[in-house]
């Protein structure tokens, strides 16, 4: 079938218009991400590595998860006065750049300090607690704590102090940006939280 030249020009114009409407894929700039990370170094170290046990290890974390958390700090969905202030100054591109920078680093393995607690944590992490309808953490975060990009964060090697603090915050309703985790943490007692934190610290 042959088309008139005018009709062919019309098709070409429509195709060109459609291409123009498609935004170019955003490519994170690691250099800019490193510059933003420098402002975070007081709490997270220069590259998000194993700094203070009270602060999360950001190295190797999924960038989608980091962007989500920064966005929720900025909106107020996740409450933290320091982080809300830091995130308020960041654009979406800034967040993607710094998240890609941290994700590009390889986290060093951690270790559990209390073998008995870690053993309890392993049972819960891998098998849950059926009679209290507590699901296995491995179902979402993976058997080795690697998580699932864009859905569940990497947990392996995270500071036990930080993990315990977050589970406690979910349980107490202080951290409100994940209903699923609030529901799980609500059923855990202090010893179980400590056990999970210890076990996760040694995952790799």
Q: What is the CATH number of domain 115-201?
A: 1.10.760.10
**Domain ranges across the chain:** 30-103, 115-201
The reply to whether domains 30-103 and 115-201 share a CATH topology is: yes
Q: What is the pLDDT of residue 183?
A: 97
So what's the pLDDT on residue 11? 43
Long-range contacts of 163-171 (CB under 8 A, 24+ apart): 163/196, 163/197, 163/200, 163/201, 164/193, 164/194, 164/196, 164/197, 165/54, 167/193, 167/196, 167/197, 168/193
Q: Which of 136, 120, 141, 150 is nearest to 184 (CA)?
A: 136
User: What pLDDT, in 10s, does the model give residues 131-164?
Assistant: 999 999 999 999 999 999 989 999 999 999 999 9
pLDDT band, residue 1 (cuts 50/70/90)? low
What's the pTM?
Answer: 0.86
Work out the average pLDDT over 73-97: 97
pLDDT digits (tens, 9 = 90+) for 31-65: 999 999 999 999 999 899 988 999 999 999 999 99
**Higher pLDDT among residues 64 and 22, named by residue:** 64
Residue 42 is encoded by which pair of tokens? 């007081």
Give the CA radius of gyration of the chain: 22
What confidence score (pLDDT) does residue 75 get?
97
Q: How sure is the predictor about 8, in pLDDT bands with cuts at 50, 70 and 90?
A: very low
The share of the chain scoring above pLDDT 70, in percent, equals 88
Query: Under 8 Å CB-to-CB from 84, ≥6 apart: which residues?
Result: 73, 74, 76
Pick the CATH number of 30-103 from 3.30.1490.20, 1.10.760.10, 1.10.8.80, 1.10.10.10: 1.10.760.10
């Amino acid at each position: 079938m042959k088309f008139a030249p005018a009709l062919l020009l019309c098709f070409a114009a429509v195709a060109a218009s459609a291409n123009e409407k498609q935004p170019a894929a955003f490519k994170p700039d690691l250099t800019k991400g490193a510059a933003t990370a420098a402002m975070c170094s007081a709490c997270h170290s220069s590259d998000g590595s194993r700094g203070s046990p009270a602060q999360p290890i950001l190295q190797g974390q999924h960038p989608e998860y980091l962007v989500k958390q920064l966005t929720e700090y900025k909106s107020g969905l996740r409450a933290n006065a320091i982080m809300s202030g830091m995130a308020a100054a960041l654009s979406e591109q800034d967040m993607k750049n710094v998240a890609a920078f941290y994700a590009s680093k390889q986290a060093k393995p951690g270790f559990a300090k209390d073998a008995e607690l870690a053993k309890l944590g392993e049972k819960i992490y891998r098998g849950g607690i059926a009679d209290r309808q507590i699901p296995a953490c491995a179902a979402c975060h993976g058997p080795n704590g690697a998580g699932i990009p864009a859905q569940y964060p990497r947990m392996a090697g995270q500071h036990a102090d930080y993990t315990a603090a977050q589970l406690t915050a979910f349980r107490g309703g202080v951290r409100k940006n994940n209903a699923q985790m609030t529901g799980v943490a609500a059923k855990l007692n202090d010893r179980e939280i400590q056990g999970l934190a210890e076990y996760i610290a040694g995952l790799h």
